[in-house]
Amino acid sequence: MKRFVLVLMVLGVLGGCSGGERSSGMAGKLVKQYGGEKTRPDKVAERFVVLLHPHSGEKVSLTYYEKGRYDAKAMQAVDRLFRDRNANVTGKIDPELIDCMVDIRTRLGLPPTVVFEILSGYRANGTNEQLRAAGKQAAKESLHKYGLAVDFRIKNVNGKAIAEIAKTMQRGGVSFYPSSNHVHVDIGNIRTWATR
Ligand SMILES: [Zn+2]
C-alpha cells in the first residue's frame, strides 16, 4: 500500500512537469495523494452563491450558472470579489471552483442563501511571495495564483466538518487550517496536506 501511494506521488510530480501545475500548490507536507477519477460538478439547473469578503464587507449574491452555461457577467463579479486586494489585481476564477463550493454546501445540507466568507481567492505572484517571506502557509506554486483555489469559512459551521465533506467529494485538494479556522479547497489533484 505504501508503495502504491509513493507511485501516485511520483505521477503527480510528473504531471506537474508536463504543464499540469494543478498537481502542486500545497502549503505543507503531503499527507495523502488519492487515486481514482475526479468527480464532476453536480448536474443542476442553476447555481446560486453568496460570497462575502468579511474584512471589507463587500458581498455579492449571484446566479452564475443557468440554462446550461456560466453567466459571464456574474463570473466577472466573482472575479472581482476574489481579487487580490493586496496587489489590487483581478484574476480569472475557474467557475468549477465555485461549483465545488456550491456542491460542498449541498452536501452540508445548507440553503443556497448561506454566506461563504472568502478569506483568500486569487493571489498575484508578488502577494504569494510576500506571504511565503512572512512565514505564512503558502505554496510556491499555489493554485491561488491560477484562480483554482479558495480559502473560506462558513459562520457557525465547523471548518473541520466542511473539510471532511469536501474530501469525500474527490474534486481536488482540501485542507483545514485550525489556526485560522478556514478551509482551503482547490480543483487540482485530489490530495490533502499537513497544516497548523
Ligand atoms: Zn489556500
The alpha carbon of 152 and the centre of ligand 1 are apart by a number of angstroms equal to: 8
Closest CA to 27 of 187, 173, 180, 181: 173
Summarised one tens digit per residue, pLDDT across range 91-138 is 999 999 999 999 999 999 999 999 999 999 999 999 999 999 998 888
The alpha carbon of 45 and the centre of ligand 1 are apart by a number of angstroms equal to: 29
Q: Which segments of the chain have a pLDDT < 50?
A: 1-23
**CA 165/CA 100 separation, integer angstroms:** 11
> Which residue do the cell numbers 463550493 mark?
101
Closest CA to 123 of 93, 153, 159: 93
**CA 175/CA 185 separation, integer angstroms:** 7
pLDDT value of position 24: 55
CB 124 within 8 A of CB 88: no
The alpha carbon of 117 and the centre of ligand 1 are apart by a number of angstroms equal to: 13
The alpha carbon of 148 and the centre of ligand 1 are apart by a number of angstroms equal to: 10
The alpha carbon of 192 and the centre of ligand 1 are apart by a number of angstroms equal to: 12
Q: Phi and psi of 156, rounded to 5°?
A: 65, 15
What does the domain layout of the chain look like in residue ranges?
Answer: 2-193
The alpha carbon of 23 and the centre of ligand 1 are apart by a number of angstroms equal to: 14
- What's the pTM? 0.84
The alpha carbon of 9 and the centre of ligand 1 are apart by a number of angstroms equal to: 20
The alpha carbon of 67 and the centre of ligand 1 are apart by a number of angstroms equal to: 31
Report strand pairing: 46-53 vs 115-120.
Answer: parallel
| Assigned C-alpha cell, 120 | 483568500
| Assigned C-alpha cell, 173 | 485538494
The alpha carbon of 134 and the centre of ligand 1 are apart by a number of angstroms equal to: 15
pLDDT value of position 10: 39
